[in-house]
Amino acid sequence: MSIEIRVSPNEGLYLKEPQDSNLGRKIIQHSILLIDEYGFESFTFRKLAAEINSTEASVYRYFENKHLLLLYLVNWYWEWVNALIIINTMNVEDPQKKLRIIIQSLVSASEDNPGVEYVNESNLHNIVIAEGWKTYHTKEVDDDNSKGFFMSYKNLANAVSKVISEIDPDFKYPYTLATSLFEMSKDQIYFAKHLPKLTDISVKENDLKDVEAMLNYFVDKLLKK
């Protein structure tokens, strides 16, 4: 028996579902590698096409532009985190335990999982940290939002905020705390790597135990049992 995890971002993000074809999967795989290596700005469909021995025109048949490709990848990532959380919290009743597992899942989502061969989760995690904000800090954010392009993240935030309210029904800002956990996790990892004066944690060779401990520390102080 084998369990196949298939994660599907919003339909409006692509012209043709890339996971359904060879070329599509190569686009996903190598765009992740290229964006992580060179950054989103210097990533172009031309370079991607060259890398996979295809053509610019062919890539454009899957994604209207590179912004939508990035949105697709980032949504894929949050769907992935969501899937991990669902699997790991199955049959766990205690909301406090649940939140610990959520934090642990959030952190471990950055480890490569061989289950999906065309996605390197570790590289994708780097992209979400370094480039993810580009998906929503645009002038088109309201438009994109109305098309459902941030659904994966919103669903996740909603699920986590519910667990927070279960632990402490009097806590005034469950959504703020949920999103802050995600954003802090990203920010503090990035700071640790590039602007270490801005954080107390350290991340050596992608060991994220400090991040996990830090998030748990904050949550424990904020939520009364």
Partner DNA sequence: CTTATTATGATAGTTTTACTATCTTTTTAA
Partner DNA sequence: TTAAAAAGATAGTAAAACTATCATAATAAG
Of 2-10, 15-23, 90-98, 215-223, the segment contacting a second copy by CB under 8 A is 215-223
**Interaction with a second copy in 3-42: which residues (CB under 8 A)?**
38-39, 41-42
| Cα dihedral sign, 114-116-117-118 | negative
d(CA 137, CA 90) in angstroms, rounded, equals 34
Confirm or reject binding of residue 54 to DNA (CB under 7 A). yes
Confirm or reject binding of residue 199 to a second copy (CB under 8 A). yes
Tokens 């009097």: give the residue. Answer: 170
DSSP assignment of 169-188 equals: TT-S-HHHHHHHHHHHHHHH
Residues 6+ apart with CB under 8 A from 80: 7, 109, 119, 121, 124
**Which positions lie near DNA, rule CB under 7 A?**
16, 21-24, 41-42, 44-46, 53-58, 60-62, 64-67
* Contact positions vs a second copy (CB under 8 A): 38-39, 41-42, 130-131, 133-134, 136-139, 141-142, 145, 150, 153-154, 157-158, 172-176, 179-180, 183-184, 187-188, 190-191, 194-195, 197-201, 214, 217-218, 221-222
